[in-house]
Amino acid sequence: MDSSAISPKESVWALHCRSMLLWNSCIRQKSEGLDEKEKAEFAIEAWRESLAIQDSLEIHVCSSNTALSHSCREYLYK
């Protein structure tokens, strides 16, 4: 894929950062006292972001940064 056609938000590095932030947010939600509605809303938004990151990772078919892509997927699957 032409790297100039990829938005900065969809670069492998940005996707890795987004996956780390998502993972961190999910960990922090465990310790915060949210009611059931807020937990459900957060879970839906986290799932949507996870799917968006996964879809964006599928666009990158180049063989460079495979370790970074793997690390990103590890955060998503945790």
Per-residue pLDDT band at 12 (split at 50, 70, 90): confident
Tell me the pTM.
0.77
CA distance 4 to 8: 9
Quick one: tokens of 29? 């939600």
- Residue 60 burial (10 A CB sphere; 0-12, 13-18, 19+): buried
Judge contact between 10 and 59, C-beta under 8 A.
yes
Domain ranges of the chain: 7-77
| Mean pLDDT on 12-29 | 91
